[in-house]
């Protein structure tokens, strides 16, 4: 298995909803990442997990809450989002010390 | 402040010819540089990387060149194939902790290889 799987592929949520994005990999990678990509812009790093511990938080608002329950799973919990949070959310993983990431196909999130 | 830039939003090349994609950066502290390819509705796919202590890395049809003095890197694809048509992102990495850690993507170049 050489893939990063993200679910759901599309999500529409209201500003008062609580939802979660899920990411799964079975490549034995111990580093996992969340990125946000707006239309016609490059992906921007949000969080880095290394050995299931949050190691990097790029000053992301607290309405985004990451969680790494085990070495294969990464969640992003969403609460009270704003319409400007609508974007493609990408999950990635890598071997620690390997800088080429394996990305999932992303979750396209629309906040209404 | 865009620390990694790709000044050409698009590039068209004839099949079999060389494609050259360019990337400029402003921070001399990056440790690694990488190239990714992205098809529509998919996440980026890692292609090739180069350490900041090297000036060239080759993998099959893909070669990355790094000019540290000019803060410039380029990706050469030879020969170009129609399946190479995609958006190409360069990325720059610097290790560290929150505040110093960097993994920054460029703005992307859409490559179209014409059959």
Grade residue B1 by pLDDT with cuts at 50, 70 and 90: low
How far, in Å, are A58, A81, B86 from residue A84 at the CA level? 17, 8, 27
Is any Cβ of chain B less than 8 angstroms from the Cβ of A103? Answer: yes
* Mean pLDDT (chain B, rounded): 94
Residues on chain B touching A55 (C-beta within 8 angstroms): 97-98
Q: How far is A82 from chain B (nearest CA, A)?
A: 23
Laid out side by side, the sheet with B19-25 consists of: B4-5, B19-25, B72-77, B62-67, B56-59
pLDDT at residue B97, as a whole number: 77
A103 → closest Cβ in B4, B44, B108: B44
Give the tokens for residue A65. 């809450």
pLDDT above 70 as % of chain A: 99
Is any Cβ of chain B less than 8 angstroms from the Cβ of A99? Answer: yes
Is any Cβ of chain A less than 8 angstroms from the Cβ of B108? Answer: yes
Residue B114, Cβ neighbours under 10 Å: how many?
11
How far, in Å, are A43, B29, B107, B109 from residue A40 at the CA level? 10, 27, 8, 11
| φ and ψ of A84, to 5 deg | -70, -10
Of the candidates A59, A54, A67, the residue with the CA atom closest to the CA atom of residue A23:
A67
Decide which of A1 and A87 is more confident.
Answer: A87
């Amino acid at each position: 298995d050489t893939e990063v799987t993200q679910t759901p592929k599309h999500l529409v949520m209201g500003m008062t909803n609580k939802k979660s994005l899920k990411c799964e990999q079975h490549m034995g990678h111990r580093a996992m990442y969340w990125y946000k990509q707006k239309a016609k812009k490059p992906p921007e790093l949000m969080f880095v997990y290394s050995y299931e511990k949050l190691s990097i938080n790029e000053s992301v608002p607290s309405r985004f809450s990451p969680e790494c329950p085990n070495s294969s799973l990464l969640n992003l919990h969403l609460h009270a989002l704003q319409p400007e949070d609508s974007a493609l959310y990408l999950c990635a993983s890598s071997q620690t010390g390997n800088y080429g990431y394996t990305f999932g196909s992303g979750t396209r999130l629309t906040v209404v | 402040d865009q620390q990694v830039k790709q000044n050409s939003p698009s590039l068209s090349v004839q099949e079999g010819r060389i494609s050259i994609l360019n990337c400029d950066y402003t921070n001399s502290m990056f440790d690694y540089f990488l190239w990714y390819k992205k098809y529509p509705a998919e996440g980026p796919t890692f292609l090739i990387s180069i350490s900041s202590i090297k000036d060239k890395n080759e993998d099959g049809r893909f070669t990355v060149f790094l000019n540290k003095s000019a803060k410039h890197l380029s990706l050469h694809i030879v020969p170009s194939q129609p399946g190479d048509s995609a958006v190409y992102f360069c990325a720059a990495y610097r290790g560290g902790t929150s505040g110093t850690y960097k993994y920054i993507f460029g703005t992307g170049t859409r490559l179209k290889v014409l059959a």
